[in-house]
Chain A
């Protein structure tokens, strides 16, 4: 009521009843969101009996067996982990490197047919996975790229690259062209203006693009399912095989799930400020 109140929106104060409703909705939302994750996390520290107990156990004696099991014995994950890191990391890196160049070109070019070019780029990102996997499978088979890390990197680039081009061009378009113009006047070449002036200004864009590309590739299942074999299987495939081959060891499955999920959550939250721009391909700018 007073004029010195916090300059937030008046709606945010609201009546008492409204505030109670807000908290109830958020509490329900948090429970709905977090219970599966917490259950997976806690179950990863349970022994077999507690995991498969008919009445769910909240209190239990924690054990690290499931985690040590991931790196020793028959289900050793180390090679899968390595494949995941290399394939996802390399495709995200290549996507950002090539995507930053092309994104800048796209943001600044005045060429005719620019609209068609950008539509084509975005449409390759939105193509159904299955419709891409199918012909690539045949092509990769001919080229001997099945069950190889380069094959997987190329497959991931089919969705990471168009995403990176489009997103980087959104970040570049936010920078006024006068920046390069003054760099050119100061004696820079176009390349120097791009490399030394513009690129450093969009560090946040580069990092966001890299993280999102990494998450997409790291989380991929469909491509890896078709293209990978013993020499290139990734963590999501390893997780799904834990179910089909050795009977279901849920404790270990929860451990591998935690292992796959936590790094991506941390990476995603680290770029949260730019997530809206990223996930809407720049169509909605964040706060």
Chain B
């Protein structure tokens, strides 16, 4: 009743001239709750991590923060282990992204050429994406268990004897492949969407000219989905740099630090050794790295006119 009488009145009051000012206020009102909550959830932690990075923090008997100046930062730049962690992260980053792009695009091209059953096959291929990373890690441990793992048995028939998660290189390869298993589907999905939006005329022109399949792919199809591939690459890179769960439950950074990437090191520093100040310094640098990637990402979207 109240709304019924109120609505027409409200509509009648402002003359249909220029409702410009109230429009802006309305959008602002809708934005406010989200922006305020997000600010509380991101700006406060950001200030906290800044303070933490120049402090020594004690947790026993309540939180105590003591200013230590640049001690943590001095350590940051002289820590030989940390440099190794960063290097390992970079290798991990390049390997996973490279393999995911390769497999993902390959599968997408094959799916795209499928006339029947494309959706069914795609649905099956997408399944790993929805698996919790912890479960991927635990399942990986199960499959590579040295006595009864399925993949251990398969590798044994191929002549590989050895504890997969126990060896330096094999453990690193294993965690790389677990990530590749989980996230290749994402690249397939995005690439396929890009391929499907390539105008038919371009593809027809390519094949009717007598250009071979490979040639038309390389020179016509791939260039026209370059933007989409770039977006896929950036989306994945944001996640690859903070990859943590799978390593934590499979190798815990070992054996002999072989899989200790920066996020694992940070976690360990903070929640195993409770050196929160030093962990904060590591965290801030990770944050800076990811903001650089995010900047590139948004700029590219801007250039393509994809942001609003």
Q: Which residues of A line the B interface, CB within 8 A?
A: 6-15, 18-19, 21-22, 25-26, 29-30, 32-37, 39-40, 43, 51-56, 98-99, 101-111, 115, 117-119, 121-124, 126-139, 141-142, 154, 157-158, 161-162, 165, 169-170, 173, 184-185, 187-192, 194, 215, 218-222, 225-226, 236, 239-240, 243, 250, 253-254, 257, 260-261, 264-265, 267-269, 272, 275-276, 279-287
Contact = CB atoms under 8 A, between A and B. Distances in A.
Contacts of A184: 11, 19
Contacts of B207: 9-11
B286 A130 contact: yes
A101 B36 CA distance: 13
Contacts of B106: 25
Interface string B221-245: 1000000100110010010011011
Contacts of B170: none
Contacts of A173: 308
B194 interface: yes
A75 to B, nearest CB: 15
A25 B110 contact: yes
Given A36-B181, A154-B41, A243-B138, 4 more contacts: A36-B143, A105-B27, A134-B49, A284-B306
B270 A134 contact: yes
Contacts of A52: 147-148
Nearest to A43: B142
A51 B148 contact: yes
A287 B196 contact: yes
A197 to B, nearest CB: 13
Nearest 6 pairs of A and B residues by beta carbon = A102-B34, A135-B48, A105-B31, A105-B30, A219-B132, A131-B283
A213 to B, nearest CB: 13
A29 B24 contact: no
Nearest to A141: B63
A52 B307 CA distance: 52
B52 A138 contact: yes
Interface stretch (B68-76, B79-87, B117-125): B117-125
B287 A131 contact: yes
B94 interface: no
Contacts of A132: 42, 45
Contacts of B7: 187-189, 192
A8 B52 CA distance: 59
Nearest to A131: B283
B273 interface: no
A25 B196 CA distance: 19
B49 to A, nearest CB: 4
Nearest to A281: B235
Contacts of B24: 109-111
A261 B135 contact: yes
B203 interface: yes
B57 interface: yes
A158 B30 contact: no
A161 B37 contact: yes
Given A122-B298, A254-B142, A280-B190, A128 B287 contact: yes
A287 to B, nearest CB: 5
A226 B48 CA distance: 17
Contacts of B301: 283
